[in-house]
Amino acid sequence: MNRASRLAALTAAVLLAGVGPATADGEDGDTPNEAGTAFRTATVIDQDQTATAVASAGDYLYWTFPVAAGQTATAEATVTLPDAATRTGPSTWRVDVYDGLRRRQACTEGEQVGTAAENAESVTLSCTVRTVRSWAEPWSDDPLPGAYYLRVTVSELPERDLGLPIDVEVAATVADAGGSADRGGDLATPLLPVGTAGTLATGDAGAGEDGGEEEGPQPYLAALPEPEDGWSGGWWTDRWLWTAGGGVLGGLACAGGYLLARPRRSSGA
Amino acid sequence: MIIRKWSAVALSALFAALMTGFLSTSAVADQSESETEEGPPPRVELVLDVSGSMRERDMSGGQSRIAAAQQSFNEVIDAVPEEVHLGIRTLGAGNPGDDREVGCQDSQQLYPVGQVDRTEARTAVATLRPTTGFTPIGLALRGADEDLGEGPGTRRIVLITDGEDSCGDPDPCVVARELAASGTNLVVDTLGLTLDDAVREQLSCIAEATGGTYTAVQDTDQLTDRLNQLVRRADLPVENPTAVEGAERCEDAPQLGVGVYNDRAEFGQHRFYRVPLTAGQELRASVSVAADRPVDPDYGVLLRAVDEESQELVRGTGAGSGRTDVISTGLRYPLPETEDDEDTEDDRASRVVCLELSSSFSAPDAVERAPGLPVELTVDVVSAPDEPSDLAAFGLARGWVPLLLLTGVGLVVGLAWGLLVRLGIVMGRA
């Protein structure tokens, strides 16, 4: 019963907000076929988009994708290994997720590390990170809206297998965590990676320097597509329905209570 | 007095800037246009080993290594993007015979770094013949670094060889690290045309030292694809970080604005940087320390924001174990808006935050300590977030307990009201 009503509440929420299911995202046909090799050169992918790359065993491959508040992101990677005949032993592969401030985010689900046997053709990895909050105290490492980095690399391999060609396919999917994860507070801007070269302040007056910075073009690295409902997840949450529902029930109960307790003069007449 | 006036001007400018910044935060998506403007051209130099062993016919289809390299070079020359400046250098070019002295000085520029004239470049490639030369990789790397020239813009060297350095001095790996540390943002990618252990070790060491990649090549197609990929990589519109030298103490630290910086930090060294911050702004800093040489398997990084009195404001930590390119962390520190009136604003509003970086990398004794490990630091200053009034969105309730509570309260109120009315009516009748 609990589930059913929650589902009902959610469906109503979706209908009310006029938002369709967020699966059909703007995939414009061309999937990125290169990977970055550092945080700064990470290839941008959109939510639910698949990207591929040809690389060498031992490379560190980076992609970056946007995640909004209230979403739970899952990074998936499939590494197609070189011909088994050229390999000399098993290898261990791993996927790491970092947030826009390059803080490593823990995986709550999925196989973050996978070992490929000597004759295996491929290895599949995945990492689900915690649901992104719209606000967090600066002393916490909680995931915040903005860019997320996905890094795929080999963590252990026989020395002789270094540099052999591999194919990698990655995808970043997001799931809406629902109303229970809708929190208060907002960041002024999402955590986006800075890309412009820095400017050293020579004088000792700091404030003016900062003012100058913000007048220029945005200092951010690459155009990360903004999630459909904005970075903070929008104003809608099914908490409106729950609370309104509570109000309605309270009102009805009030009326009912009044009917029970009111004087019954008209009964006899 | 003048200083006060200036700071007032600066503050009002800042306020205006903040307002515009605030208004344009939604326009983040279309900022990259400015980056595609004509900047310094990305430069790539292909460094090819033409020593005798390149004659060996062990590429796919019985092709000789040199023929495979020539074929790939031609395809790369055809595919090179217009704006990329490409050059070619050979190592071990002459025919010195057994004269080690001469052979180890032999590295020539075959095609100068510049806009590629396809015919000329192809003609130059066609003249390549295996020699009896030595393999002075270190020397060739230095030569290639000079060919690429000074100045901003991407600089990449792609080293293609089938033998390890046969001269020994200078050690190519040390040379690569020196070049990478010289502040010219050089990346060396290496391609090994053989699966030999010594070659692989040396080439992967060179790649690791400069943040490049190592690839073991076995056939011509793979070589071509990889070369094309590496040339394209040079063409990424990524700005080079500004070089900065962190100080030992906060008071001497350089003041950083928004942007990306790089530095070198030796093992066990603390680096300080300063960032000016105004009330209502949030400092966001992230840092990565790269392991560009063999290091011990467990490591960490600590980035602390401290105030002028050395009190810690906030910290970011990262730790790891095993094979890695970098270890990174980040922090954010919002400076809340002061609620004092304007008179005191000058004294309180702006504040300098010190960033203290330390890493716990360690290395075996045999590993060279200098130059220090590459550090990349990004600094961003944005407006601070508002403290949420409630942990839940808009303070709204959710779940069965609040529903029951509201219903219960409604019922009680209804009953009480009914009772009151009954009482009131009774009293009214009386």
CATH number (domain holding residue B130) = 3.40.50.410
Listed in order, strand segments (DSSP E) in B116-173 are 155-161
CB contact (8 A) between residue B28 and residue A226: yes
Q: Which residue of A60, A205, A254 is in closest CB contact with B413?
A: A254
CB contact (8 A) between residue B411 and residue A217: no
CB contact (8 A) between residue B197 and residue A200: no
Q: Which residue of A165, A192, A199 is in closest CB contact with B242?
A: A199
Residues of A in contact with B406 (CB under 8 A): 246-247, 249-250
**Would you list the domain boundaries of chain A?**
31-197+217-232, 237-263
Tell me the per-residue pLDDT of A66-93, one tens digit each, with 9 for 90 and over: 999 999 999 999 999 998 888 999 999 9
CB contact (8 A) between residue B288 and residue A39: yes
Looking at residue B332, its pLDDT comes to 94
- Winning range, highest mean pLDDT, from A28-42, B105-119, B408-422: B408-422
How much is the average pLDDT of B12-38? 40
Q: What is the dihedral of CA B252, B257, B259, B265, to 10 degrees?
A: 10
How much is the average pLDDT of B358-378? 92
How much is the average pLDDT of B46-69? 87
Cα–Cα distance, B186 to B50 (Å, whole number):
23
Residues of A in contact with B396 (CB under 8 A): 237, 239-240, 242-243
CB contact (8 A) between residue B411 and residue A256: yes
Q: Which residue of A103, A194, A214 is in closest CB contact with B17?
A: A214
Where does the pLDDT of residue B389 fall: very low under 50, low under 70, confident under 90, or very high at 90 and above? Answer: confident
Query: At the top level of CATH, which class does the domain A31-197+217-232 belong to?
Result: mainly beta
How long is chain A?
Answer: 269
Residues B85 and B187 in one domain: yes
Looking at residue B340, its pLDDT comes to 55
Residues B98 and B167 in one domain: yes
Q: Identify the CA nearest to A63 among candidates A101, A92, A33.
A: A33
Looking at residue A29, its pLDDT comes to 55
Chain B (157-196) residues lying within 8 Å, Cβ to Cβ, of chain A = 192, 195
Helix (H) or strand (E) holding B12, with range, is: helix B2-23
The answer, yes or no, to whether residue B5 has pLDDT greater than 90, is no
Interface test mutation site (partner B, options A46, A61, A92, A213, max chain B beta carbons within 10 A): A213
Q: How many CA atoms lie within 13 A of A32 on its CB side?
A: 22
Q: What is the dihedral of CA A102, A106, A109, A114, to 10 degrees?
A: 80
Residues B211 and B254 in one domain: no
How much is the average pLDDT of B176-197? 90
Note whether B403 and A245 are within 8 A (CB): yes
Looking at residue A265, its pLDDT comes to 65
Asked whether residue B78 is assigned to any structural domain, the reply reads yes
Looking at residue B61, its pLDDT comes to 78
- Winning range, highest mean pLDDT, from B127-141, B265-279, B381-395: B265-279
Cα A98 to the chain's mean position, in Å? 10
Looking at residue B415, its pLDDT comes to 94
Note whether A66 and A225 are within 8 A (CB): yes
How much is the average pLDDT of A24-50? 80
Residues B306 and B214 in one domain: no
Residues B223 and B355 in one domain: no
Chain B (200-219) residues lying within 8 Å, Cβ to Cβ, of chain A = 200-201, 203-204, 211, 213-216, 218
The answer, yes or no, to whether residue A139 has pLDDT greater than 70, is yes
* Cα distances (angstroms) measured from residue A179 to each of A85, A131, A137, A185: 52, 12, 21, 15
Nearest residue in B to A219, CA atom: B259
Number of C-beta neighbours around residue B84 at 10 A:
19
Where does the pLDDT of residue B314 fall: very low under 50, low under 70, confident under 90, or very high at 90 and above? Answer: very high
Share of chain A above pLDDT 90, in %: 61
Phi, psi of A23 (to 5 degrees): -85, -45
CB contact (8 A) between residue B411 and residue A154: no
Instruction: Identify the residue with better confidence: A144 or A203.
Output: A144
CB contact (8 A) between residue A249 and residue B378: no
The answer, yes or no, to whether residue B12 has pLDDT greater than 50, is no
Residues B101 and B128 in one domain: yes
Share of chain B above pLDDT 90, in %: 54
**DSSP count for chain A of H helices, then E strands:** 3, 12
Cα–Cα distance, A129 to A92 (Å, whole number):
21
| Mean of pLDDT over chain A | 83
Looking at residue A26, its pLDDT comes to 37
Looking at residue A266, its pLDDT comes to 56
Looking at residue B342, its pLDDT comes to 52
Looking at residue B309, its pLDDT comes to 87
Helical packing angle, B172-181 and B197-210, nearest 10°: 10
Looking at residue A110, its pLDDT comes to 94
How much is the average pLDDT of B95-105? 74
How much is the average pLDDT of B333-337? 87
Total of domains in chain B:
2
CB contact (8 A) between residue A255 and residue B408: no
Domain span holding position B170 = 43-234
| Mean of pLDDT over chain B | 84
Residues of A in contact with B387 (CB under 8 A): 185
CB contact (8 A) between residue A225 and residue B422: no
How much is the average pLDDT of B230-247? 89
Q: Which residue of B282, B316, B415 is in closest CB contact with A103?
A: B316
The answer, yes or no, to whether residue B195 has pLDDT greater than 80, is yes
Nearest residue in A to B199, CA atom: A160
Q: Which residue of B278, B316, B385 is in closest CB contact with A135?
A: B385
The answer, yes or no, to whether residue A247 has pLDDT greater than 80, is yes
Pairing of the two strands A50-56 and A165-176: antiparallel
Where does the pLDDT of residue B36 fall: very low under 50, low under 70, confident under 90, or very high at 90 and above? Answer: very low
CB contact (8 A) between residue A217 and residue B34: yes
CB contact (8 A) between residue A253 and residue B414: yes
Chain B (345-384) residues lying within 8 Å, Cβ to Cβ, of chain A = 349-350, 352, 376-384
How much is the average pLDDT of B240-248? 92
Residues B289 and B330 in one domain: yes
Rounded to a whole number, what is the distance in Å from the CA of B233 to chain A's nearest CA?
Answer: 8
What's the one-letter identity of residue A156? E
Note whether A55 and A63 are within 8 A (CB): no
The answer, yes or no, to whether residue B62 has pLDDT greater than 90, is no
Q: Which residue of B11, B229, B417 is in closest CB contact with A258?
A: B417
Residues of B in contact with A257 (CB under 8 A): 410-418
Q: What is the CATH number of the domain that holds B282?
A: 2.60.120.380
Looking at residue A199, its pLDDT comes to 87
The answer, yes or no, to whether residue B23 has pLDDT greater than 60, is no
Residues of B in contact with A225 (CB under 8 A): 29
Looking at residue B150, its pLDDT comes to 83
Residues of A in contact with B20 (CB under 8 A): 214-215
Asked whether residue B33 is assigned to any structural domain, the reply reads no
Of A228-242, B84-98, B139-153, B320-334, which range is least confident?
A: B84-98
Asked whether residue B419 is assigned to any structural domain, the reply reads no
Looking at residue B19, its pLDDT comes to 41
Residues B208 and B313 in one domain: no
How much is the average pLDDT of B235-263? 91
CB contact (8 A) between residue A198 and residue B13: no
Looking at residue A195, its pLDDT comes to 86
Note whether A73 and A132 are within 8 A (CB): yes
The answer, yes or no, to whether residue B191 has pLDDT greater than 90, is yes
CB contact (8 A) between residue A215 and residue B20: yes
| Residues sharing a CB contact under 8 Å with residue A159, sequence separation 6 or more, in sequence order | B197, B200, B201
Chain B (288-327) residues lying within 8 Å, Cβ to Cβ, of chain A = 288, 314, 316, 318, 320, 322-326
How much is the average pLDDT of B337-344? 58
Nearest residue in B to A249, CA atom: B407
How much is the average pLDDT of B383-397? 87
Looking at residue B96, its pLDDT comes to 65
Cα–Cα distance, B407 to B409 (Å, whole number):
5
The answer, yes or no, to whether residue B346 has pLDDT greater than 70, is no
Where does the pLDDT of residue B128 fall: very low under 50, low under 70, confident under 90, or very high at 90 and above? Answer: confident
How much is the average pLDDT of B49-55? 87
CB contact (8 A) between residue B325 and residue A34: no
Residues B230 and B278 in one domain: no
The answer, yes or no, to whether residue A46 has pLDDT greater than 50, is yes
Residues B133 and B228 in one domain: yes
Asked whether residue B134 is assigned to any structural domain, the reply reads yes
Chain B (7-36) residues lying within 8 Å, Cβ to Cβ, of chain A = 7, 9-11, 13-14, 16-18, 20-22, 24-25, 27-32, 34-35
Looking at residue A142, its pLDDT comes to 94
How much is the average pLDDT of A18-32? 45
How long is chain B?
Answer: 430
The answer, yes or no, to whether residue B293 has pLDDT greater than 70, is yes
Residues B191 and B332 in one domain: no
Looking at residue A185, its pLDDT comes to 87
Asked whether residue B29 is assigned to any structural domain, the reply reads no
Residues B179 and B95 in one domain: yes
CB contact (8 A) between residue B204 and residue A199: no
Cα–Cα distance, B16 to A221 (Å, whole number):
24
Looking at residue A216, its pLDDT comes to 55
Where does the pLDDT of residue A146 fall: very low under 50, low under 70, confident under 90, or very high at 90 and above? Answer: very high
| Residues sharing a CB contact under 8 Å with residue A94, sequence separation 6 or more, in sequence order | A112, A113, A114, A125, A152, A153, A154, A155
